[in-house]
Amino acid sequence: MDLLDASPEDRRKPRVACRRLAREGTTLALALLLGACAVGPDYRRPAVEIPQSFKEGVSWQRAQANPEASISSTWWRQYRDNTLDGLVERALDANQSIVAAEAAYRVALATVQVNTAALFPIVTAGASGARTGTATGVTQAGAGTSSIGRTASTGVFNSVSASASVSWELDLWGAIRRQIESAKASAQASDALLAGVRLSIAASVVIDYLALRQADYDIHSLERQQDIDRSILDITQASFREGASSSNDVLVAQDVLDAVVGNLQAARIAREQDEHAIAVLTGVPPAALSIAPDPAYAFRAPDVPLELPSQLLERRYDVVSAERLAAAANAKIGAAIAAFFPTLTLSAQGGFQSNTFARLFSLPSHFWTLGPDVAATILDAGERSAEVSVARASYDQQVATYRNTVLTAFQSVEDSLSSLNHLRAQAASSADILARNRQLFASVQAQRRIGTASVEDLLDQQLTLIEAEQSLRDTQSALAQSEVTLIKNVGGGWEALP
């Protein structure tokens, strides 16, 4: 019966049946999806050996008054140096390594969205139109039909169509969900690496800045030593001319002066290179950055709160990243195993087709199809088994990398604590030496005033005092830089998101 001649009730039957089939198909799909399982091993963090305390951190840990404190995410501001604050903030905004890491993180987030989209149906729509002309003598070709060789109808024909289709591959075995799980873990690893790059850049700026300030004082100190050594050389040469000193004394005085000149040039080179490094870290060419000298800079070190070894697993960006990559690799095992099971795709298509646009969207012009599609691989020459083996081996590799990263993290913290312990002792010793040399210099000054000490004696003691001051300042700079390294090694105020 033609639908144009059917009653309104009869015309509704196909549409009712279509909606019923779609509704029943959707219900079946949801039931299958809710009852689906995700094949493959569920992830558990790999076991690692964690010490109860740091070997080199006994005195450091006892010195902390607030074990519940944590490092500020803007720890460099504790130096109370506006110039340093500006340099670090410029580096965090413009450093190209950070820009690249941020782009990598955005890629990881977009990958999660791509994998998540695979859980949902795909809906497509299209429209087409054609005008076909056939001349006399053209034969109609239709392979496999009885119309081969028959003359086609002549004339001009129109054809227009509009259609839409829905396709939904059900995630029965969790392959898509395992891919999402892997992508999310990879994104978390990328987030940790971004935090690591930011921390590394900030620490590099602070360390280079402290080294530059150390060079400022060294240059100032060596210039003073150069002036004194030149005066000593002049006195020695005058004494030689008077016969009171030998030529060897003159040569020794000249060697001492030249050695100081050489050290002064080395200090100037170090300062210029530190300034160049800071410029690049802040995202500008070296010629675009100039930092005014400050020989009187007072080295400060921010307090580093107590950390337990176990906290490194949450605060060290490289440890967190390695652990998340292990989780991503574990999820890929399930995705590879799911390939052994058949896939079920539900699809539906409907539309209109006519020889005129005016009649395109009429009931006699419509068509529709609805049905499931089950597919399974029967033979693949071991490809799927190999993919599972690759996934398992990749997981084992990431677990080994994670455990080695944990060990390396413990080592770096122990190294920093060891350095701090000895530098603090060295700084205390240097301070004692400086105090004694100040007393000695004051004594020689008094002797000079009463005529029992020569000018050369006074200059020699002044040189010793200047060298003691430089030694203390260099140790203080090294101590401050070591504190920065410790901050970096314990995570720098960053914590992984739960």
Q: Which domain, by its residues, includes 358?
A: 127-134+152-169+345-375
Q: Which residues are registered as beta bridge partners of 125?
A: 164
Residue 221 in any domain: the answer is no
Distance (Å, whole) CA 468 – CA 364: 102
325 within some domain: yes
Whether residue 472 contacts residue 426, with contact meaning beta carbons closer than 8 Å, is answered with: no
Asked whether residue 433 is domain-assigned, the answer is yes
Residues 161 and 301 in one domain: no
Burial, 213: exposed, middle or buried (Cβ in 10 Å; 0-12, 13-18, 19+)?
Answer: buried
Q: Could you report the per-residue pLDDT of 110-147, keeping only the tens digit for each? A: 999 998 888 888 888 887 777 776 666 656 554 444 44
Residues with Cβ within 8 Å of 17's Cβ and at least 6 positions away in sequence, in order, are none
Are 443 and 470 contained in the same domain? Answer: yes
Hey, what are 93's tokens? 């905004």
Question: Are 324 and 403 in the same domain?
Answer: yes
Tokens of 125: 């729509």
277 falls within a domain: no
Q: Are residues 158 and 46 in the same domain?
A: no
Give the DSSP per-residue string, 285-324.
-GGG------TTPPP---------GGGHHHH-HHHHHHHH
Structure token pair of residue 121: 């149906």
Token pair of 313 as six digits: 């697993």
Of the candidates 113, 117, 96, the residue with the CA atom closest to the CA atom of residue 186: 113
Q: Are residues 351 and 468 in the same domain?
A: no
The sign of the torsion formed by the CA atoms of 378, 382, 386, 389 equals positive
- Coil, strand or helix at 282: coil
**End of a domain among 330, 355, 375?**
375
Q: Is 321 helix (H, G, I), strand (E, B) or coil?
A: helix
Tell me how far apart the alpha carbons of residues 156 and 173 are, in angstroms, rounded to a whole number. 52
Of the candidates 222, 134, 263, the one whose C-alpha atom is nearest the C-alpha of residue 469 is 222
User: 285: helix, coil or strand?
Assistant: coil
Question: Given 327, 357, 375, which residue is the final one in a domain?
Answer: 375
Q: 94 lies in a domain?
A: yes
Distance CA 399, CA 338 (A): 22
In a domain, 310, yes or no: yes
> Do 475 and 436 belong together in one domain?
yes
pLDDT value, residue 57: 62
Q: Are residues 84 and 94 in the same domain?
A: yes
- Is 165 part of any domain? yes
159 and 290: one domain? no
What does the angle CA 382 – CA 388 – CA 391 come to, to the nearest 5 degrees? 140
From CA 488, how far away is CA 409, in angstroms rounded? 11
- Supply the pLDDT for residue 268: 97
Q: Which residues pair with 373 in a beta bridge?
A: 345
Which pLDDT score is estimated for 61? Answer: 47
CATH number at residue 470: 1.20.1600.10
Residue 450 is given by DSSP the state: T
Number of domains composing the chain: 2
Q: How far apart are CA 364 and CA 349, in angstroms?
A: 16
Please report whether residue 158 resides in a domain.
yes
Parallel, antiparallel or unpaired: strands 155-170 and 343-354:
antiparallel
Domain identity same for 362 and 392: no
Task: Flag residues of the chain having pLDDT under 50.
Answer: 1-35, 60-69, 142-147
Check whether residue 402 and residue 364 sit in a common domain: no
Answer yes or no: do 483 and 349 share one domain. no
Please tell me whether residues 82 and 181 are part of one structural domain.
Answer: yes
